[in-house]
Amino acid sequence: MPVPIPRQRAIPAAESGQAQAASPRGGSAEESVKDASPAGRTPDTAGNTTDKVENNTAHTNLTLLLIEDDPAGSPIVPDMLDQAGKPIRVRTARNLTEAGRLLTDDVHCILLDLALPAPGHADSEDELAVLRHVLELAPRHAVLALTASGDAERGAEAVRVGAQDYLFRDELDGRLLSRAIRYAVERKRSESAERRLAEGRLRAQENRRLERGLLPTPLLEGSPLRFAARYRPGRSRALLGGDFYDVVRTPDGTVHAMIGDVCGHGPDEAALGVELRIAWRALTLAGLCGDQLLGTLQQVLEHERADDEIFATLCTVDIAPDGRRAGLCLAGHPSPLLARPGKPARLLPYDNNGPALGMLPGARWPRMQVELGAEWSLMLYTDGLIEGRIGQGRERLGQDGMTEMIRRQLAEGLRGEQLLRAAVNEVRRLNGGELTDDVAVLLLDRVP
């Protein structure tokens, strides 16, 4: 936490090095640039002193807006220089109405007299009503509270309400006020940065909770099949992309698995993927399967997509209750990989691959019957797993490269979650870094 500026006695001009020159205060509002150069410094043609103090943050003159009611017209603000040796400009306003007109983007700090009455609060018991009004009027500006000497309690309360610091009216001198302005401006910048960071973290936490809630929970109660999944979105700092998957077991003992990919990688595509997954689960539990299910999903896609060019690929598998056979439907999606003991892993047939959802109105998706056997592993994946590059060239891993990689990893004894983790990590390593596309992989194993 920044340390408040210590209160100190008024420093005469000879000690502070600041010339005390009164500024004219004619009219209701004015701006004055104090041209007070300390002894031994020569102003250059731009009005700046030649022996400037280095300050990486001071590239322009600081501007102070003084809000105080001074009927006698005696100035209370001495001449000041910022840390770079430039004169600090001062604008004066006699009331909050004038202050609102002078409060432009080039104002860096506000010096507010707490004795000034707030509009509509003349009889208010709130001694800081004027400060609260200014904080509402200028939420992005640094504010210094000006109070009477010895009224430290009121000044401290002003800081608690939202001012960056407080000063005593009869102790102002150029050096003290210049330092207080710089401190208030930097503290306000720091507070604003911390607030934006906290807001960003809160939004990120909320997004993570939302995205975790949207990821599926497989419904496999009563099934002997083992399930594993791996998900890696291509969007930076996201948990959910355009890829989606789900697994459910219907009352007749059939296990239905699905994996899909909406074209694109943004939040709209992720939302559409979630809608398709939820619709697939509802339709599957309602008894739809194969071509009828995919046709209905295409209708959902056509109604929910933001653009007619958006499409989605899909792979669905329905595994018979005995676990030895499966029906396979492909809608423009890569074919699953089947691994069995004593046989090399291979891709399931994809000759009857239908079009992606949303591409052709009235399309059909034939259902192929596949023999699985007594013991097997079935891996469904999105194209993010096979479209990564190999090294620095333009060659991609492809389905053949992925098949060889999985064969080798199975031979090394990798199974389940460990296999999927190793596969995704190796694809990233071959690509030379993070993959730009979403990756979703799920694995179903049947072990007698």
- pLDDT (tens digit, 9 = 90+) per residue, 145-178? 988 887 889 999 999 999 999 988 877 777 788 8
State how far the Cα of 359 lies from the Cα of 204, in Å rounded to an integer: 35
Cβ neighbours, 10 Å, residue 16: 19
Spatial contact of 357 and 312, defined as CB atoms under 8 Å apart: yes
* Per-residue pLDDT, 32: 38
CA-derived radius of gyration, the chain: 35
Q: Of 24, 184, 8, nearest to 110 (Cα)?
A: 184
Distance CA 135, CA 128 (A): 11
Per-residue pLDDT at 121 = 56
Helix, strand, or coil (residue 165): strand
Average pLDDT of the residues of the chain: 81
Is the per-residue pLDDT at 13 higher than 60? no
Query: What is the model's pLDDT at position 238?
Result: 60
| Whole-model pTM over 0.75 | no
Q: What is the pLDDT of residues 53-103, one digit of tens each?
A: 333 334 457 888 999 876 454 456 666 766 667 778 888 888 888 888 898
Specify burial of residue 171 (Cβ count, 10 A radius: 0-12, 13-18, 19+): middle
Q: Each residue of 203-256: pLDDT tens digit? A: 777 666 656 656 788 999 999 999 999 988 876 556 677 899 999 999 999 999
pLDDT of residue 208: 66
Which pLDDT value is given to residue 77?
A: 65
In which residue are the tokens 């009477």 written? Answer: 148
Look-up: residue for tokens 């998957």? 245
Q: What is the pLDDT of residue 78?
A: 65
| 315 bridge partner residues | 259, 330
Q: What is the DSSP letter of 51?
A: S
The label of the residue with tokens 């030649």 reads: 50
CA distance 367 to 353: 9
Q: Out of 80-84, 187-191, 404-408, which region has the weakest mean confidence (pLDDT)?
A: 80-84
Angle between helices 129-137 and 152-161 (to 10 degrees): 30
Examine the pLDDT at 400 and tell me if it is beyond 50. Answer: yes
Q: How far apart, in whole angstroms, are the C-alpha atoms of residue 14 and residue 217?
A: 76
Q: Measured between alpha carbons, how far is 194 from 192 in angstroms, rounded to an integer?
A: 5
Q: Give the rounded distance of the alpha carbon of 306 from its chain centre.
A: 23
pLDDT of residue 35: 37
Q: Evaluate whether 70 touches 25 at the Cβ level (below 8 Å).
A: yes
CA 271 to CA 210: how far, in whole Å? Answer: 11
Which pLDDT belongs to residue 225? Answer: 97
- Integer CA distances (angstroms), 165 to 28, 103, 276, 395, in order: 27, 19, 55, 62
Sheet holding 337-340, edge to edge: 226-232, 439-446, 376-381, 337-340, 343-347
Give one word for 17, left, alpha or beta, with left for phi > 0 and alpha for psi -120 to 50: left
403 HSE (CA, 13 A, CB side): 15
